[in-house]
């Protein structure tokens, strides 16, 4: 079974432990699919996701929304130890930028 309008976030990577490619889905982090080729890994994980969604719908469970369909405000709170906060504030002051600008540039790396 294939999903219509599949907009989930997939990633294919190599697994040294398994000696195969592994297909992953960000919205269903507990699922994976091993295959000999990247193409087969993608096809496999997409089928697993479709099957799980079908089961979830039958059970009346809420199906995760694709990440691409979510709206983000650009704001989130991060708690750090006071000494890290102080060090970052000092670095921002020395660089002549706001703490927010410094943190944003570090997170974007």
pLDDT in tens, 20-77: 999 999 999 999 999 999 999 999 999 999 999 999 999 999 999 999 988 989 999 9
C-alpha span between 18 and 35 (Å, rounded): 10
Q: What is the pLDDT of residue 1?
A: 66
Q: Are 34 and 18 in contact (CB under 8 A)?
A: yes
In the predicted model, what is the mean pLDDT of residues 73-95? Answer: 94
Q: Does pTM surpass 0.85?
A: no
With a cut of 80, say whether residue 2 has pLDDT above it.
Answer: no
C-alpha distances out from residue 70 to 10, 13, 83, Å: 16, 25, 34
Q: Parse the chain into domains and list their residue ranges.
A: 10-67, 72-107
C-alpha span between 88 and 82 (Å, rounded): 10
With a cut of 90, say whether residue 103 has pLDDT above it.
Answer: yes
**What is the pLDDT confidence band of residue 3, given thresholds at 50, 70 and 90?**
confident
C-alpha span between 64 and 4 (Å, rounded): 15
Order of all β-strands in the sheet with 10-15? 10-15, 20-25, 32-35
């Amino acid at each position: 079974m294939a999903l219509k309008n599949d907009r989930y976030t997939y990633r294919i990577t190599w697994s040294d432990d398994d000696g195969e490619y592994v297909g992953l889905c960000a919205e269903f982090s507990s699922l994976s699919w091993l295959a000999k080729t990247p193409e087969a890994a993608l096809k496999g994980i997409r089928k697993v996701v479709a099957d799980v969604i079908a089961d979830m719908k039958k059970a009346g469970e809420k199906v995760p929304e694709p990440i691409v369909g979510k709206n983000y405000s650009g704001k989130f709170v991060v708690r750090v130890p006071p000494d890290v906060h102080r060090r970052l504030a000092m670095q921002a002051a020395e660089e002549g930028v706001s703490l927010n600008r410094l943190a944003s540039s570090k997170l974007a790396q």
